Amino acid sequence: MNPQSVSIVSTFVNLGLGISKLIFGFLTGSVALIADGVHSSLDVFSSFVTFLGLKTARKPVDEKHPYGHWKAESLAGFLVAILLAVSGIWILYEAITGFFGEKIVKFSVWAIVVVVISILITEVLARLKFHYGKKHQSLALVADAEHSRADALSSIGVLAGLSLVKYFSSADAIIALFIGVYILYEAFQVGREITDSLLDVSNKDVEERIKKICSSHKMEISQLRTRKIGAANFAEIKIKVPPKLKVGDVQKIINTLEERLLKNIPELKQIVISIEAYEMAKTVILPKMGRRIGELEGFEQIGPKKLGERIIIPLKGEKISSLFGADKYLVIDKKDENILTKEVIKNPYFEKKSPHGTRFAKAVRADKVLTQQIGLNAKQNLENFGIGVKIVPSEKNLNNILEEIKKNEKED
């Protein structure tokens, strides 16, 4: 399920909940229930606004919008935050007038049933939005999730008010007062985060991950700037290289770095890499949500041309080596269920005390390693470069593993 689908489902569910709460709120005279019904009704509009923002944000780049339409999502989230604030102010007004007025609230079992059902459904909606909002890095959907979570919590308050109204006549108005204050607080928190996005603040988490990848490539960063626009992140990186490097070698460095960054940091939609010594730059713009496709070039490259997903298996003689570091590897290129390449390649970096299996995996452009054992540092190093590691049982021989690769098992 994508964020747009979640928003559509949320719109219709909130419409039903809002109407139900308003009907029973007016029948019982409960200010808190009416306020909660208004809150749910505003959820309908906020979910629809979120849907429009998400849809617009994912339009491809064009001549008029070279950086894409990502801010549409942040604008939608900002509007949701304003709606939250307006609903909070209105609920506070109703609570204060209800507290000082003489309105009688009727106890109703059916109203309580409606509220209980509303709590359960709204909480499920909130969890769904949080899950897909974080998965797709959607600020607007996360803001809408906060709106739904506030609705669930306010409904709990309404339930308490309806249950206590028989014993304490002002309980309903007091509960509504607390709901209004909470919603205003929530609107402030959500609005602050979305305002940061609209102002193109830096993303420290992305910067740390960029630094980690550059460090693993032994690259020195002289300047790094990032900015977050909606769900997208943009980065400008300046790295230092030895001045004696040839232009072709510099280009390989740029290609390697950009490929690794785009593969390991999917939030990055545009990267500008400049080399300080040569004052050259290269920009990569990703249309829609895709990634740049192409053969990865790097500092070292060995082995045949890559034809698909590349899997390597360490060998000892004609059998699988019990250790990851080996003097030779079986290199397999698989596309769908077809094996396009199956070749044994010697590890040119092999030494008995330091087999350099990780270096071989990088140089051969492996996507996955199948091994019986591997050290934690080597495993972490491979994963930093986007190379997957799978431990195979020692009782399985090479033929068993090749059959599994051909069958393209789900676990692979």
Split at pLDDT 50, 70, 90, the class of 241 is: confident
Give the Cβ contact number of residue 248 at 10 Å: 8
Q: How high is the pLDDT of residue 21? A: 76
Is 221 in a helix, a strand, or coil? strand
Give the Cβ contact number of residue 151 at 10 Å: 28
- Average pLDDT (44-68) is 70
Q: How high is the pLDDT of residue 45? A: 72
Residue 295 scores a pLDDT above 60? no
Longest Cα–Cα distance of the chain, Å, equals: 91
Split at pLDDT 50, 70, 90, the class of 332 is: very high
CA–CA distances in Å: residue 69 to residues 64, 73, 283, 292, 312:
10, 8, 18, 19, 41
Q: How high is the pLDDT of residue 369? A: 93
* Dist CA 213 CA 264 (whole Å): 9
- Average pLDDT (311-338) is 88
At 354, phi and psi to the nearest 5? -145, 90
* Dist CA 89 CA 180 (whole Å): 6
* 357 against 386, higher pLDDT: 357
- CB contact at 8 A, 379 and 321: no
Residue 278 scores a pLDDT above 50? no
* 79 against 292, higher pLDDT: 79
- CB contact at 8 A, 120 and 94: no
- The mean-pLDDT minimum among 56-60, 66-70, 190-194, 255-259 falls in 66-70
Paired strand residues for 311: 332, 368
In a 13 Å sphere around the CA of 302, the CA atoms on its Cβ side amount to: 17
- Average pLDDT (331-359) is 85
- CB contact at 8 A, 351 and 359: no
* Dist CA 232 CA 69 (whole Å): 10
Residue 194 scores a pLDDT above 60? yes
Split at pLDDT 50, 70, 90, the class of 102 is: low
Q: How high is the pLDDT of residue 298? A: 40
- The mean-pLDDT minimum among 52-61, 72-81, 161-170, 394-403 falls in 161-170
**First and final C-alpha spacing in the chain:** 23
Split at pLDDT 50, 70, 90, the class of 271 is: confident
Which one-letter DSSP state was computed for residue 366? -
384 class by beta-carbon count within 10 Å (0-12 exposed, 13-18 middle, 19+ buried): middle
Residue 244 scores a pLDDT above 70? no
Tens digit of pLDDT for each residue in 108-128? 677 778 778 888 888 888 888
- The mean-pLDDT minimum among 245-249, 269-273, 344-348, 369-373 falls in 245-249
Closest of 254, 263, 357, 349 to residue 315, by C-alpha: 357
Q: Is the pTM of this model over 0.75?
A: no
Q: How high is the pLDDT of residue 330? A: 93
Give the Cβ contact number of residue 204 at 10 Å: 9
- CB contact at 8 A, 150 and 130: no
Tokens of 222: 């002289």
- CB contact at 8 A, 85 and 21: no
* 186 against 357, higher pLDDT: 357
- The domains found in the chain, sorted by start residue, are 3-196 (1.20.1510.10), 204-285 (3.30.70.1350), 309-407 (3.30.420.130)
- CB contact at 8 A, 392 and 320: yes
Q: How high is the pLDDT of residue 328? A: 93
* Dist CA 226 CA 233 (whole Å): 7
Q: How high is the pLDDT of residue 329? A: 93
Residue 281 scores a pLDDT above 50? no
Which H or E element spans position 237? Answer: strand 232-240
